[in-house]
Amino acid sequence: MAYILLRHRDVPDIGNLNVYKNNGGFDAFKKVVTKMKPNEVTDLVKASGLRGRGGAGFPTGMKWSFIDNKIWPHYVVANADESEPGTFKDREIMESDPFQFLEGVAIASYAVGANAAYVYLRGEFWQIAKSLDEKIAEMKDAGLLGEKLFGTDYSLHIYTHLGAGAYICGEESAMLESIEGKRGQPRIRPPFPAVKGLYGKPTVINNVETLTNLPMIVANGSDWYKSMGTPDSAGVKIFSLSGRVRKPGNYELPFGTTFRQLIYEHGGGVQEGRPVKAIMPAGASSSFIVADEKVLDTPMDYAAVRALGADLGSASVIVIDDTVSIDWIINKTIHFFKHESCGKCTPCREGTYWMMHLIDRAQDGIRSEADVDLLLNVAKQMQNKCLCPLGEFSTMAVVTGIEKFPQDFRKA
């Protein structure tokens, strides 16, 4: 099947504007601006079943429909802050198929009536930001951005904004704070960004992969998109496969692909032919799934993974084999979240700090049953009390790790 998102794997020079245009590029943007009303675009995306690819899986068209049409101007922000450990898909899109992503930003902007869009990139994507700036300039020269596009009254400008190393800025309200020139700390919600977002104005924030789907949905229709994937999760997804597999990498596959197909058919199986012990389907934020035959045959979509007690998230599938102890894994995840906690709310700031000290003590060999109980207790006390998902995420691997792999924590 031809690629829908990672199209550079079929058409190597798709990052060149002329090649992109020769392959249908910007026909969809021109079509929406000249032939469709904004709400018709939103309805089309609603009908396609497209869900947000950043992790939450929220229906994209519905998110757009929440935008407040009594307050203007509107903004679109593309979330290119890809920072979840195990996720590296948006990077490949922006490096290799940048115009399809930018066309997606343009289509979303038209749909919600935004004349300015910001692409927020993590600071480490310095080279990608430079390259996107060049692509944006090329689009302007080609009359695809700027004033009165395609002879209509619609105008659009796209700008990049480079972060500077903070995982929390992937949280949408922290991202808005960061663009406003402040520390990236989440806002209390409501009000939600669709009502009060960037500069206090209605704002839609969508992930890079979500946006990159849009040109193809406009070009081929919602029925075409829905014909792929599962009834719960339409279309294709890029699975970032990492950990103890032979062939880690990005795999664009329809929703409903099983863990077994991803790990064995595409990922070449586990290193040294060892068995899969556990799977973290949503990166470091993930709950552990204990791998057994039934789990491996589970078709991956949002609902099916939730039924296994985890979340699909951004589909950053980390594979863990039987050589790895789960207490070592959560040492890594706890240190990550301790480092990335923004410090605004107490449960997360203090909770990640104490979890770190407890797991460090256990790793130093001073291991006691009481410490394991205390660690579990601290993690559970944090749950449902944090201002944003980061604090909640930090507890997922801890709680499910201790509960599902007690032998890895209560060693003699």
Partner 1 sequence: MSLAKKYPKEVKQILAKYPPEYKRSAVMPLLYLAQSEEGYITRQAMQDIADTLEISITDVGAIVGFYTLYHDKKEGKYRMQVCTDLPCALRGADQFMESLCANLGIKVGETTPDGLITLEAVTCLAACDRAPMFQIQSGDGLKYYEDMTVDKTMELVDTLKKSGAEVK
Binding region for partner 1 (CB under 8 A): 82-88, 90-91, 122-127, 159, 161-167, 178-184, 199, 240-244, 248-250, 283-284, 316, 318, 320, 324, 329, 332-333, 336, 339-340, 342
Question: Quick one: 170 or 299, whose CB is closer to partner 1?
Answer: 170
In the complex, least distance from residue 126 CB atom to partner 1, rounded to whole angstroms: 4
Residue 74 exposure: Cα atoms within 13 Å on the Cβ side:
24
Question: Quick one: 55 or 243, whose CB is closer to partner 1?
Answer: 243
In the complex, least distance from residue 240 CB atom to partner 1, rounded to whole angstroms: 7
| Spatial contact of 310 and 266, defined as CB atoms under 8 Å apart | no
In the complex, least distance from residue 336 CB atom to partner 1, rounded to whole angstroms: 5
In the complex, least distance from residue 174 CB atom to partner 1, rounded to whole angstroms: 11
Residue 411 burial by Cβ neighbours in a 10 Å radius (0-12, 13-18, 19+):
exposed
Residue 88 burial by Cβ neighbours in a 10 Å radius (0-12, 13-18, 19+):
middle
- Residue 111: name the closest of 207, 214, 263 by CA: 214
Grouping H, G, I as helix, E, B as strand and the rest as coil, residue 376 is helix
In the complex, least distance from residue 306 CB atom to partner 1, rounded to whole angstroms: 22
What is residue 270's DSSP assignment?
A: B
- Residue 48: name the closest of 303, 300, 279, 222 by CA: 222
Question: Quick one: 66 or 159, whose CB is closer to partner 1?
Answer: 159
Distance between CA atoms of residues 210 and 101, nearest Å: 9
Question: Quick one: 181 or 365, whose CB is closer to partner 1?
Answer: 181
In the complex, least distance from residue 42 CB atom to partner 1, rounded to whole angstroms: 25
| Spatial contact of 300 and 322, defined as CB atoms under 8 Å apart | no
Question: Quick one: 48 or 341, whose CB is closer to partner 1?
Answer: 341
Question: Quick one: 212 or 242, whose CB is closer to partner 1?
Answer: 242
Grouping H, G, I as helix, E, B as strand and the rest as coil, residue 321 is strand
Query: How far apart are the two ends of the chain, measured CA to CA in Å?
Result: 52
Question: Quick one: 37 or 332, whose CB is closer to partner 1?
Answer: 332
Beta bridge partners of 161: 120
In the complex, least distance from residue 40 CB atom to partner 1, rounded to whole angstroms: 29
